[in-house]
Amino acid sequence: MFLLHTCRRVWFRGTAIPSAVVTVPHPRTRALNVAARPSDLTGNTPLLDLGRILQAHGIDNGSRLFGKMESLGPCSSVKDRIGRSMIDQAEQAGLITPGRTTLVEPTSGNTGIALAFIARERGYRCILTMPEQMSTERRMMLLALGAQVVLTPKETAVPGALAKAHEIVESLNGDGFMLQQFENPHNPKAHRETTGPEIWRDTDGDIDIFVAGVGTGGTVTGVSQYLKGSPAHGLPPLRPNLQTVAVEPMEQMLITAALGGAKIGPQGPHKIQGMGAGLVPQVLDLTLLDEVVPVHSDQAIDMAHELWMTGLPVGASAGAIVHAAVQVLQRPASAHKMAVCVIPSFGERYFTHPMFAEIKEKAQNLQKQPLPEPFDNTEYGFATRRG
């Protein structure tokens, strides 16, 4: 019989004191694959072959498209990674303390959800400021996780939510702490240390093109640093010719403008939640971007619906990213190349988004139907046998 030797410890004033060593009979000869906390489930998301989308758009040039399924994280978004990374670092640096510190952060939704679930896991109070146009599902997730939600005017986008967050931190007299996702270096670090290596491993190093939306800029920066190389972080170039493609809303082309490009059409509010925050994030390394593809909200929504029809529930942000990837791969120069695009979040989080207005109305107008014979419906509380 396999014997498991365990060393029991007694804790005294924060110090572990070894106690008796106990030999326990154990029938297994391998370790259980069990996570200790919800945040420990973060990362190691799979790649999904999106070849059906390429076929549907008539792309037959030998190119391949894979989706990095960040929607399968513990709280269903790519932001789970940075939520854990930023909180881990702040704890290790002694900047925050469970039971005393209140975490405050502006968010368009998914970063806030990541912070809220980890705050609940570890014992922090959490206040999130969020532009009012974000989906009701986001608000419900945050409230269900015990966070406080403060809405700000949609016209001011994330900068308005950021200003409100600063005001709240100041009112907490030293017990409030803002993780600052748009400028926190542990945002891209999370992707440099996890997302990038996972993509390199799962593509056997054959990736040619990386496509990601720009919200905070952490994903596109961190992954590109890992794959292209980053002397500042001691990373050798694994794929120096990687083509990094950033995606932003056509209605808010701030990244394009920052690189000297021209804006297309009217600029203002858009419907692609999770990107186009109304600012150029500090953590975004513009020098890593080979191209910025603007996608209109309508194009993003159309592609999101198309992905749903393949059985993949996504939101408008994933629709925008996949639409951009399709645009890139249909070029002759992309023949026989492999692209990986980010699927940032799960589609059920967007049911009150305008993209689902028609489906929502249809669902609300569904009518019950009578059961077939020989059911007697009066036995189930109906007024008549057949109604």
In a domain, 372, yes or no: no
The set of long-range contacts for 140-147, using a CB threshold of 8 Å and a minimum separation of 24, is 141/75, 141/109, 141/113, 141/116, 141/349, 142/112, 142/113, 142/116, 145/113, 145/116, 145/117, 145/119, 145/120, 146/116, 146/119, 146/120, 147/112, 147/115, 147/116, 147/119, 147/120
The answer to whether residues 218 and 322 belong to one domain is: yes
Q: How many CB atoms are closer than 10 A to CB 102?
A: 18
- 64-95 pLDDT, tens per residue? 999 999 999 999 999 999 999 999 999 999 99
Q: Answer yes or no: is pLDDT of 380 > 80.
A: no
Task: Answer whether residue 2 shows pLDDT above 70.
Answer: no
Is the residue at 7 inside a domain?
no
Which tens digit of pLDDT belongs to each residue from 298-327? 999 999 999 999 999 999 999 999 999 999
| Six-digit token string for 33 | 């694959």
Tell me if 307 sits within 8 A of 341, measured CB to CB: no
Tens digit of pLDDT for each residue in 260-276? Answer: 999 999 999 999 998 99
pLDDT at 6: 42
32 within some domain: no
Q: Are residues 115 and 242 in the same domain?
A: no
Q: Which among 79, 189, 228, 271 is annotated as catalytic?
A: 79
Query: Looking at residues 39-68, what average pLDDT do you find?
Result: 98
248-257 per-position pLDDT tens digit:
999 999 999 9
Task: Examine the domain organization and report whether 148 and 239 are in the same domain.
Answer: no
Number of domains in the chain: 2
| Residues 348 and 251 occupy one common structural domain | yes
Domain-ending residue, one of 178, 212, 239: 178
Q: Which of these, 243, 231, 156, 230, lies nearest to 192 by C-alpha position? A: 230
pLDDT in tens, 149-193: 999 998 888 889 999 999 999 999 999 999 999 999 999 999 999
What CA–CA distance (Å, rounded) separates 108 from 181? 11
Mean pLDDT over each residue of the chain, to the nearest integer:
91
pLDDT at 11: 41
What are the DSSP E strand ranges found in 181-337? 209-213, 243-249, 291-295
Write down which residue in 178, 209, 226 finishes a domain.
Answer: 178
Q: Are 168 and 246 in a shared domain? A: no
pLDDT at 189: 98
Residues 112 and 151 in one domain: yes
pLDDT in tens, 15-47: 444 444 445 555 556 778 899 999 999 999 999
Report the SS3 class of residue 222: helix
Examine the domain organization and report whether 219 and 338 are in the same domain.
Answer: yes
Structural domain includes residue 342: yes
Q: Is residue 236 scored above 90 in pLDDT?
A: yes
Sequence-separated (6 or more) residues with CB below 8 Å from residue 131: 108, 151, 152, 153, 154, 156, 157, 158, 160, 161
The closest alpha carbon to 287, from 260, 262, 267, belongs to 260
pTM of the model: 0.87
**pLDDT at res. 384:** 78
On whether both 89 and 150 belong to a single domain, the answer is yes
386 part of a folded domain: no
Please count the residues of the chain. 387
For 92-175, list the strands marked E by DSSP.
Answer: 102-106, 125-131, 148-152
Q: Do 236 and 291 share a domain, yes or no?
A: yes
Q: Of these residues, 317, 334, 337, 345, which one is catalytic?
A: 317
From CA 67, how far away is CA 311, in angstroms rounded? 14
Cα dihedral value 262, 264, 273, 290, nearest 10: -40
Predicted confidence at residue 7, as pLDDT, reads: 42
Instruction: Check whether residue 57 and residue 87 sit in a common domain.
Output: no
Which of 122, 143, 178 is at the close of a domain? 178
106, 225: one domain = no
Give pLDDT, residue 26.
Answer: 56
Assess whether pLDDT exceeds 90 at residue 99.
yes
Tell me, yes or no, whether 238 and 330 share the same domain: yes
* pLDDT tens column, 191-235: 999 999 999 999 999 999 999 999 999 999 999 999 999 999 999
So what's the pLDDT on residue 23? Answer: 52
Stronger pLDDT, 48 or 377, i.e. the higher one: 48
Q: Is residue 379 part of a domain?
A: no
Domain containing residue 167: 79-178
Distance, in Å, from the CA atom of 167 to the CA atom of 161, rounded to the nearest integer, reads 10
In this structure, what CATH number is given to the domain that contains residue 47? 3.40.50.1100
| 317 catalytic residue (yes or no) | yes
Residue 28 pLDDT: 59
